[in-house]
Amino acid sequence: MDAVETLVARAAPGHRYALWDLWTALSQAAGDREHAERALDALASAPPWLWPELDTARRAVWYSAPAVAPVPEPRGLWRLRHRPPEPDTPLAVLAAACAHDGHERERAVRHPAMRHDPRLLPILVIRAADWVAQVRSAAADVLDQVLAVPTGATLGTVAPVAVRIGGRRRGEAVVRMVRDALSRAGDEVLTALRSSADIPTRRFAYRACLDGRRIGEAELIHAARHEEDIVSRTLCAEAVAEMDRPDLLRELLANRAAQVRATALTALVRLGAPEHGERMLGDVSPVVRLTAQWAVRRAGGDPAEFYRRLLDEPPGHGLRHLVAGLGECGTPADAPIVLPSLTDESPRVRAEAVRAACRLGARVDLAAMLVDPAPVVVRHVAEALRDAPPPEDRLWPLLDGGRPPHVRRAAHRLLTRTDMWNRLKADLVLLTGPDESLRARARAGVDDWLTRQAATAYAGPPEPLRGELAALVERAHDALGERTARVLTWHLRTTSKIDNVPE
């Protein structure tokens, strides 16, 4: 029993071996009725995603589970004469409902325990989307009976599993059944589901309540302001926007969620109040800034002109977002306005200035910023130079072991895009460096080079580079390992000299 509870607690999506171990532990617990009950209680407390994974793991090709429920029946007339006995415990019913044999799954979903034991409801939901029509129909009939009186406990168990199988080919019908049950449920049940700790269930409940107009105005406004889940909060904000209440929308412009602010601003523009766009031009969110720029244009203004005017004066802490905004809607003539921000004391401002300068086509030596002390700035510079790396002679010195790791990482990233042999050299240089994370990155790069590029390396490197590579392989021998070092040496010896390759 300790094994069952531990495996349930440690299970993770995609970890099939843990689920096989769980099935083995369940089969051992099934021999004792008390243990079987405790095991099923442990499963009942499992997260909702575990049930679909547990179901498929039972039928995995490489897994041969001990017999928890009756073994699958042989085909033919013998089947009719030797029908396996009915499962005698709820845990045996659960195992039978996940069996290979469709007849066994169908009998399991028709078992009385499936209607009366709420711990079996998750597997009943899964069987209602079964690929065998007879199993699917039988499970849907039982599920319809269970949902006839949609209590909070029932829907709280069924809904989390239903939303996770809704994307299956036959899962939509199950979701519709649960949605219909929600429409018949009491307000207190819906309130509980909208507060579910399971986020997919919470979103499902909000959508169902909004579609069926089962949420009061006060609750809707409160959720649009304070709902913890951003997606659910945005759904409620969209519903508030349909109420045509400018007073509420103006309040939502200050909401913490960017999608809510963008929704409120869009609704205000639709209601004929685009003047609110100007105050949102310096928003921290790109989505809100773009919406604000659209609002300013709808009001007949030019958002770039607002950014130019605001940047003429020291904007304080909002400089980063104003620079980003001008980069989003400015013209090449605005490039000189953002260039001073490349030397700002704030790393975030410098990083945003790099992006804005690239968007505006500024003529600036970004390669000089590859030595910036802030990793965020160097990442943006490397991204900007990705398609047009600077000359190699400016990048190789940046791989020196005395440079900060983020500078070496960016230089390596740019050098690997220039030439296949430069890529190998850059990997070998990092492999002999002091930083463990960069050495691991370089080792993976060497392995990838051998897998993907070595076979097409017909023309070898120029002779000076060939000698450098041979020396680097020798220096990195211990890090590479005997076999990899020998293979690299063989490639360097057998590839033709580049000067002898026919044109």
- pLDDT per position as a tens digit, 243-270: 999 999 999 999 999 999 999 999 999 9
CB burial of 29-64 (b: ≥16 within 10 Å; e: otherwise) equals bbeeeebbebbbebbeebebbbbbbbbebbeeeeee
- Cα distance between residue 99 and residue 113, in whole Å: 17
Residue 245 Cα distances to 217, 228, 278, 427, angstroms: 12, 23, 20, 60
Residue 272 Cα distances to 25, 267, 296, 298, 299, angstroms: 65, 9, 12, 9, 9
Among 165, 143, 164, residue whose Cα is nearest residue 154? 143
pLDDT band at 21 (very low <50, low <70, confident <90, very high): confident
Percentage of the chain surpassing pLDDT 70? 92
Segment 140-193, tens digit of pLDDT: 999 999 999 999 999 999 999 999 999 888 999 999 999 999 999 999 999 999
Question: What's the maximum distance between 2 C-alpha atoms anywhere in the chain?
Answer: 92
Contact 70, 87 (CB under 8 A): yes
Return the higher-pLDDT residue of 76 and 460. Answer: 460
- The answer to pTM > 0.75 is yes
Q: What is the pLDDT of residue 62?
A: 56
Where on the phi/psi map is residue 134: left (φ > 0), alpha (ψ -120 to 50), or beta? alpha
Phi, psi of 111 (to 5 degrees): -65, 140
Segment 383-404, tens digit of pLDDT: 999 988 899 999 999 999 889 9
- Cα distance between residue 305 and residue 308, in whole Å: 5
Contact 120, 94 (CB under 8 A): yes
Q: How high does pLDDT run on average in the chain?
A: 89
Residue 288 Cα distances to 116, 203, 262, 280, angstroms: 51, 23, 5, 7
Q: What is the pLDDT of residue 205?
A: 97
Pair of tokens at residue 378:
């160097």
- Cα distance between residue 209 and residue 304, in whole Å: 42
Contact 421, 458 (CB under 8 A): no
pLDDT band at 68 (very low <50, low <70, confident <90, very high): low
pLDDT band at 502 (very low <50, low <70, confident <90, very high): very low
Mean pLDDT, rounded, for 324-352: 95
Contact 206, 191 (CB under 8 A): no
